[in-house]
């Protein structure tokens, strides 16, 4: 049995998930005067895939790249994030990305730690570089503070489970609060809902059975947004193409493009075709566009594949170590220090991690809206656009703006709390909680 709090919470815009996309949506919608609730399963100050930091922000900066956006668009398409995106959404993203960079810098995230726009890593030799290197270790704290200052209400430890629709339009949502010993179901009346619940991890078997929480992505992002959208009738796309990220073996994701060195086989031969000399400007893009190289070489008997930093210059090595901190990989750095592992002397074995869903899921239009009126999505759960943290920031902003606009045109809240979904949910989650085991 689970109790229901029968007094609905009314809000113009309800945002499910307080990651990068959710907080950016909240900041924009509240800034435009909408009442906003951000319902977050964990705590927005340290939640989601950007919890402990990121260090690359894909963007187009005209003063660096020139006035022709075309080559940057091409580069985006060839990158590890661009292949499945709708062209119109990608172009809109690139055009707005610099505005989000400037916002973040103004709010206190260091987007040019060396005083200039520094594009490095994830790069092909001789082609434009599109990933801005930034200091993202404090990004969640900064965005949380900004969302609160702007007037968004954040409710932590509230796991959202469904949206409520009437006549094909959003009227509310259901969630389960775990703030107290006994969970309580909460009902929302909302004019718009934004699904910003991040990627879908832990849906596929991990590399070994003991790895359930040592995942390549945030372990609590389990594809809720895609599931909620699907149950409500939203269109999902590209679901048949899960991703596999790669990085240091046994470290459930601790940088890939952040490392500066060369991928080598056990005989010391360079594995990829792109770089012959370690260079911070490029990184080694082999791991981005051929992430199965680590599995392929292992299976063919030519592996494992290692990251070799022995020829990386001192300056580039310091830059790499700084980047690993900004990306939040301090657990691995502590481990290496404790065990006396020095990447300049010891090659570090890399592996491909378990599959997950990112940029695979809910189809949106250029306003961030799904095919259901009043239901929006942004960030990793979107299926026809992907640009990771920069994409989450940009489409979070767009969805927040669109949702605030729509909410402003709707005069009153609908009674969401009376429908059958509420009773069905109470029964379903009550039965799970009442289980004696399992």
Binding residues for ligand FAD (CB under 6 A): 16-22, 39-42, 47-50, 54-56, 159-160, 196-198, 217-218, 220-221, 224, 253, 327, 379-380, 388-390, 392
Residue 224 or 286 having the CB closest to ligand FAD? 224
Q: How far apart are CA 152 and CA 161, in angstroms?
A: 21
DSSP secondary structure letter of residue 46:
G
- To the nearest whole angstrom, how small is the minimum distance from the Cβ of residue 20 to ligand FAD? 4
The CA R_g of the chain, rounded to the nearest whole Å, is 22
DSSP H helices, 32-158, are 62-65, 70-78, 87-107, 139-150
Q: How far apart are CA 365 and CA 225, in angstroms?
A: 16
DSSP secondary structure letter of residue 152:
P
Residue 196 or 264 having the CB closest to ligand FAD? 196
- To the nearest whole angstrom, how small is the minimum distance from the Cβ of residue 141 to ligand FAD? 13
- Measured in whole angstroms, the distance separating CA 261 from the mean position of its chain's CA atoms is 26
Supply the angle between the helices 314-326 and 330-339 in degrees, to the nearest 10: 130
- To the nearest whole angstrom, how small is the minimum distance from the Cβ of residue 181 to ligand FAD? 20
Torsions phi, psi for 145 (to 5 deg): -60, -45
State the CB neighbour count (10 A cutoff) for residue 155: 17
- To the nearest whole angstrom, how small is the minimum distance from the Cβ of residue 198 to ligand FAD? 3
Residue 18 or 206 having the CB closest to ligand FAD? 18
Residue 56 or 264 having the CB closest to ligand FAD? 56
Residue 35 or 226 having the CB closest to ligand FAD? 226
- To the nearest whole angstrom, how small is the minimum distance from the Cβ of residue 412 to ligand FAD? 26
Tokens representing 383 are 């299926």
Residue 8 or 22 having the CB closest to ligand FAD? 22
Who's near 75: CB < 8 A, 6+ residues apart? 124, 127, 128, 130
- To the nearest whole angstrom, how small is the minimum distance from the Cβ of residue 15 to ligand FAD? 9
């Amino acid at each position: 049995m689970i109790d229901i709090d029968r007094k609905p919470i009314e809000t113009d815009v309800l945002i499910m998930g307080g990651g990068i996309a959710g907080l950016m949506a909240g900041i924009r919608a509240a800034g435009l005067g909408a009442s906003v609730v951000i319902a977050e399963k964990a705590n927005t100050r340290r939640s989601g895939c950007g919890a402990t930091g990121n260090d690359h922000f894909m963007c187009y900066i005209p003063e660096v790249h020139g006035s022709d956006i075309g080559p940057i668009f091409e580069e985006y398409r060839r990158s590890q994030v661009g292949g499945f995106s709708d062209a119109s959404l990608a172009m809109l993203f690139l055009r707005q990305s610099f505005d989000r960079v400037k916002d973040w810098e103004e709010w206190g995230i260091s987007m040019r730690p060396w005083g200039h726009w520094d594009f490095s890593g994830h790069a092909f030799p001789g082609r434009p570089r599109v990933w801005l290197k930034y200091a993202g270790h404090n990004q969640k704290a900064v965005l949380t503070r900004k969302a609160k200052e702007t007037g968004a209400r954040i409710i932590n430890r509230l796991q959202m489970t469904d949206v409520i629709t009437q006549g094909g339009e959003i009227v509310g949502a259901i969630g389960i609060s775990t703030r107290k010993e006994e969970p309580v179901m909460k009902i929302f009346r909302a004019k718009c809902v934004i699904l910003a619940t991040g990627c879908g991890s832990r849906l596929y078997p991990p590399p070994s059975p003991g790895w359930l929480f040592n995942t390549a992505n945030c372990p609590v992002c389990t594809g809720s947004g895609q599931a909620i959208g699907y149950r409500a009738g939203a269109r999902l796309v590209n679901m048949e193409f899960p991703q596999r990220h790669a990085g240091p073996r046994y470290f459930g994701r601790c940088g890939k493009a952040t490392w500066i060195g060369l991928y080598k086989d056990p005989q010391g031969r360079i594995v990829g075709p792109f770089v012959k000399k370690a260079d911070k400007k490029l990184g080694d893009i082999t791991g981005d566009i051929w992430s199965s190289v680590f599995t392929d070489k292992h299976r063919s008997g030519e592996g494992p594949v290692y990251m070799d930093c022995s020829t990386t210059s001192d300056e580039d090595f310091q830059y790499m170590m700084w980047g690993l901190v900004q990306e939040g990989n301090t657990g691995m750095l502590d481990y290496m220090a404790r065990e006396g592992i020095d990447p300049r002397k010891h090659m570090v074995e890399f592996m491909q991690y378990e599959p997950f869903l990112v940029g695979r899921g809910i189809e949106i239009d250029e306003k961030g809206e799904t095919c259901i009126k009043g239901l929006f999505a942004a960030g990793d759960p979107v299926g026809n656009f992907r640009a990771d943290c920069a994409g989450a920031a940009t489409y979070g902003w767009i969805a927040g703006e669109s949702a605030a606009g729509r909410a402003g045109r709707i005069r009153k809240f609908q009674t969401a709390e009376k429908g059958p979904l509420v009773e069905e949910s109470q029964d379903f989650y009550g039965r799970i909680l009442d289980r004696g085991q399992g």
